[in-house]
């Protein structure tokens, strides 16, 4: 799989208040693009889109983590394979 898109977003959750969400509509509504430095204590969502060069299959992976002293404390990873998050890929 080739990486075709990658972007960092923040989630409206802080330390101690993480809740898992599997519904892609939650992410479409709540992800905020990072435009500067990451704020301490705020959860981050790394969105990466992949495409298979052979069959054309596309996958979007969300990795949710909390940045802690230069490290990442991973909470969840979700994969979406039916274009659920394509709206985020089209945003400038």
pLDDT at residue 16 is higher than 90? no
The number of distinct structural domains making up the chain is: 1
pLDDT of the residue at 13: 87
At 18 the three-state DSSP class reads coil
Question: How far is the C-alpha of 47 from the C-alpha of 36, rounded, in Å?
Answer: 17
Residue with tokens 């990486």, as numbered in its chain: 3
Average pLDDT over residues 4-11: 93
pLDDT of the residue at 50: 96
pLDDT at residue 15 is higher than 90? no
Average pLDDT over all residues of the chain: 92
CB 65, CB 42: distance < 8 Å: no
pLDDT at residue 82 is higher than 90? yes
Helix (H) / strand (E) element for 92: namely none
Domain range for residue 17?
A: 2-90
Q: How confident is the model at residue 39 (pLDDT cuts 50, 70, 90)?
A: confident
């Amino acid at each position: 799989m080739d990486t075709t898109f990658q972007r960092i977003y923040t989630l409206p959750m802080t330390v101690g208040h993480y809740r898992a969400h599997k519904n892609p509509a939650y992410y479409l509504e709540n992800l905020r693009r990072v435009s500067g430095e990451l704020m301490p204590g705020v959860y981050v969502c790394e969105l990466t889109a992949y495409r298979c060069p052979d069959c054309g299959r596309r996958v979007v992976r969300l990795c949710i983590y909390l940045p802690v002293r230069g490290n990442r404390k991973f909470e969840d990873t979700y994969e979406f394979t039916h274009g659920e998050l394509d709206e985020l890929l089209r945003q400038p």
